[in-house]
Structure 1
Amino acid sequence: MKTSLQVLTESNIQTNRNKRKQVGILGGTFSPPHIGHLVMADQVYHQLGLDCVYFMPDFVPPHVDKKEAIASEHRVEMVKRAIQGQPHFALELNEIERGGKSYTVDTMKELMRQHPDTDYYFIIGGDMVHYLPKWYKIDELIQLVQFVGVGRPHYTKESPYPVLWVDSPEIDVSSTLLRERIATQCPVRYLIPDAVLAYIQEKGLYQA
């Protein structure tokens, strides 16, 4: 006959086995990472009660509309500096280490193989929600992850795909805008974390 302590212990073990880790993924080129990325990740982390959010720089952007990016080592270092001191943020280097075009569907298959006890929430801005029909193997990808949408100015919250929307301040800033401002010597302080801006200036990135 089992004692009450044995029953309780077995119950706790079963509960722990059934508990799956809830992880957010914020992918992108991060050229450079900015306040908008940090606010998105933080809002989703808190509102969905996630265990953590991983920032995942791509190696070669896979978008149909070509995006230019500086060397991956610079982007990785900038992300490191952007999230330093934030215990609920971390860096995921799967796409950097794999190389080639960074197709999200391939990445998520690999992450799920490595971490079968984890549920993934893929965080995207409203502009990327609008872009979803162009994503590589999107019909397969939506079976692997839960997309989480964060509103962006000038984009509607509509999609033919299942998107979980999070209410967040809409910050009208983009990496493209920041690169242009840096190239023309316009101030970008407070739009980019100080540690990231110091690295950009040290390495002379995005100069005209």
Structure 2
Amino acid sequence: MASATADSGTQTPTQLAEQPLLGSAQTPYTFPVHKLRRRQLEPGKTPLVLVACGSFSPITYLHLRMFEMASDFVRFNTDFEVCAGYLSPVSDAYKKVGLAPGHHRVNMCSRAVEHSPWLMVDPYETVNCDENGQPQYVPTAKVLRHFDHEINTVLGGIEGTDGQMKKARIALLAGADLVMSMGEPGLWAPQDLDTILGQYGAFIIERSGTDIDEALASLRQYEHNIWVISQVIQNDISSTKVRLFLKKDLSVRYLIPDPVVEYIEQHHLFQEPKPNSSRGQTPDSTPGPSNSKVAKS
């Protein structure tokens, strides 16, 4: 088997319109390419773009570390060359407890990777709308096809060291919890698994306490496209734990990047509603996901 967590956003695939509406007049969508390395540095290698789909509510240091772990693994164990890494926060239509509004999650992720030379945030999932302007869920398979289209069709791929354009390999980066869900019968549509693992592939970061071998046993037909990365330094920080700390008014510094802490404080995210002393209602301030009709982890 090709041998690699994040709040990976286990997503049950659903039907989606072929031509989703992206953004609005106020927030037009543009695919981010400002940190994408357009020309390879190493001859004989295949350009690789890593994509992590998840809630990122909020983003933690573990989400960022998994990209660095994957980058190291790719350098020493594969014939790929990493040209970029993308975080793709899920749509607000993915209703799950703890999901902050999409624009806040995109902003938090953007602040977290601001100083990274190769990590970017793609708001594609969060700006997908139906014909009524409502958030629309985007299956993971469709997200990977989106990256494939933008990088290999629109941009024409990545230039090799010989000057020839080469198709970039798009691959999912996720934690062991996601691949374990893929091994559960009936949870993922077979055609979506064929797209994700058969066409694109996945780099999976192992987590202590998960029996990844059992999950991989049921995905044996995709073993050539699954790389398992050992987590040498164990890190079990999760968005769920961070939200719990915030609701209890505990410090989350050094669990998540400082710019994200500041953003959360500025916008009063992930806080328990506080009764208005005069009217017994929550104050008119920016609501956290506990107040929101659309809520994820």
Q: By the TM > 0.5 criterion, same fold?
A: yes
The aligned residue for residue 290 of structure 2 is none
Matched, 1:36 2:86: no
**Residues 109-120 of structure 1: matches in 2 within 5 Å?**
109-116=145-152, 117-120=167-170
TM-score normalised by L of structure 2: 0.59
The count of corresponding residues between Structure 1 and Structure 2 is 191
* 1:26-56 CA-partner distances (Å, limit 9, x unpaired): 1111000001101111110222131221111
Separation in structure 2 between the aligned mates of residue 60 and residue 143 of structure 1, nearest angstrom: 28
Deviations 1:74-109 (CA, angstroms, capped at 9, x unpaired): 000000011111102111222223241120111222
Alignment-derived partner of residue 96 in structure 1: 126
Deviations 1:126-172 (A, max 9, x none): 11121114234223321221111101231122222232111223311
In the TM superposition, what is the alpha-carbon distance from 1:120 to its structure 2 partner? 1.3
Q: Which amino acid aligns with 1:114?
A: E
Q: Assess if the C-alpha contact under 8 Å between 2:144 and 2:172 holds in 1.
A: no
Instruction: Answer 1 or 2: higher relative contact order, Cα 8 Å, separation at least 6.
Output: 2
The amino acid across from 1:191 in the alignment is L
**Local SS of the residue matching 2:174:** strand
Counterpart-to-counterpart distance in 2, 1:61 and 1:167: 33
Residues 127, 155 of structure 1: 8 Å contact kept: yes
Aligned to 1:135: 188
User: Which residue identity is paired with 1:57?
Assistant: P
Which of residues 44, 62, 72 is equivalent to 1:46?
A: 72
Identity fraction in percent: 23
- Greater helix share, structure number: 1
SS at match of 1:85: coil
**TM-score (norm. length: structure 1):** 0.83
CA distance 1:174–1:61, change in 2 (3 Å): farther
Q: Alpha carbon RMSD of aligned pairs, Å?
A: 2.2
Residue pair 2:147, 2:170 contacting (<8 A) in 1 also: no
Q: In the alignment, which residue of structure 2 is the partner of 1:106?
A: 142
Query: 3-state DSSP class of the match of 1:142?
Result: helix
Whole-Å separation in 2 of the counterparts to 1:41 and 1:27: 12
Matches of 2:151 and 2:45, distance apart in 1:
13
CA distance in 2: counterparts of 1:114 and 1:202, whole angstroms: 34
Specify the code of the residue in structure 2 equivalent to 1:149.
I
By how many angstroms is 1:205 displaced?
0.4
| CA–CA separation in structure 2 for the residues paired with 1:82 and 1:61 | 24
Q: Which residue matches 1:13?
A: none
1:54 match: secondary structure: strand
For structure 1, which runs of at least 5 residues remain unmatched after alignment?
Answer: 1-15
